[in-house]
């Protein structure tokens, strides 16, 4: 059962992320080197400025105009220019590979019928801008908060799929849990820095 998302703390933005799977996917794309709640606010900025967050509209938008839209303050990301190209590449992949329906990533039949968690992870990993970690986090977000639970999804998502964890955006359901995830990420960075020293 999908729950209403609490990601940005802004009711209208969170409603868009809850109701539009492509908006949620774009937010995940933008979630790097930028505060989580600002990254996930990007899709609403795109929708408000372009008039749509539909993958066809995003993919077919004039690239220069889309860069302007993405970099106009408040920009969709700290690196608005490069992220504009990534968002359009993601939209193009969804249009070309999934008929513009992002939910096909997790609903299109796999090798033996319903796709497994590993198959959904592989599809996510194949998207522009999605590496292993980002794909695992998004799979965990689908499983934990969107009711998308293909067989073996927790295993495929690795530690991000752990019940009760506070590792990523998949675990953010309130301002308090956002603070907890931030604290975990800060600890991880500090540990990684200490290991290099």
User: Predicted confidence band at 101 (pLDDT cuts at 50, 70, 90)?
Assistant: very high
Residues 112-152 have pLDDT tens digits of: 888 999 999 999 999 999 999 999 999 999 999 999 999 99
User: Predicted confidence band at 169 (pLDDT cuts at 50, 70, 90)?
Assistant: very high
Q: What is the pLDDT of residue 190?
A: 84
* pLDDT above 70 (res 2): no
Distances (CA, A) of 144 to 70, 113, 140: 30, 22, 6
* pLDDT above 80 (res 30): yes
* pLDDT above 60 (res 167): yes
Token pair recorded at residue 191: 């540990």
Cβ–Cβ < 8 Å for 124, 105: yes
CA distance 156 to 165: 15
Q: What is the pLDDT of residue 189?
A: 83
Q: What is the pLDDT of residue 180?
A: 93
Question: What structural domains does the chain harbor?
Answer: 11-165 (1.10.340.30)
Which single residue is written with the structure tokens 């293909």? 150
Lowest mean pLDDT among 24-38, 114-128, 178-192: 178-192
CA distance 46 to 6: 19
User: Predicted confidence band at 111 (pLDDT cuts at 50, 70, 90)?
Assistant: confident
* pLDDT above 90 (res 161): yes
Residues 66-98 have pLDDT tens digits of: 999 999 999 999 998 999 999 999 999 999 999
* pLDDT above 80 (res 197): no
Which single residue is written with the structure tokens 């990684």? 192
Output the average pLDDT for the chain: 94
CA distance 182 to 14: 19
């Amino acid at each position: 059962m999908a729950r209403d998302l609490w990601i940005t703390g802004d009711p209208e933005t969170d409603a868009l992320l809850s109701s539009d799977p492509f908006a949620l996917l774009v937010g995940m794309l933008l979630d790097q080197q930028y505060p989580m709640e600002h990254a996930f606010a990007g899709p609403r900025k795109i929708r408000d400025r372009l008039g749509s967050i539909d993958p066809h509209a995003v993919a077919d938008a004039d690239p220069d105009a889309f860069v302007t839209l993405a970099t106009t303050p408040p920009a969709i990301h700290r690196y608005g220019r490069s992220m504009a190209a990534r968002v359009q590449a993601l939209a193009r992949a969804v249009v070309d590979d999934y008929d513009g329906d992002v939910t096909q990533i997790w609903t299109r039949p796999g090798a033996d019928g319903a796709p497994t968690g590993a198959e959904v992870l592989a599809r996510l990993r194949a998207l522009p801008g999605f590496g292993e970690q980002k794909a695992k986090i998004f799979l965990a977000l689908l499983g934990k908060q969107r009711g998308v639970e293909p067989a073996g999804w927790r295993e495929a998502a690795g530690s991000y799929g752990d019940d009760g964890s506070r590792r990523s955006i998949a675990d953010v359901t309130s301002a308090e849990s956002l603070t907890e995830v931030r604290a975990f990420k800060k600890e991880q960075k500090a540990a990684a820095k200490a290991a290099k020293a």
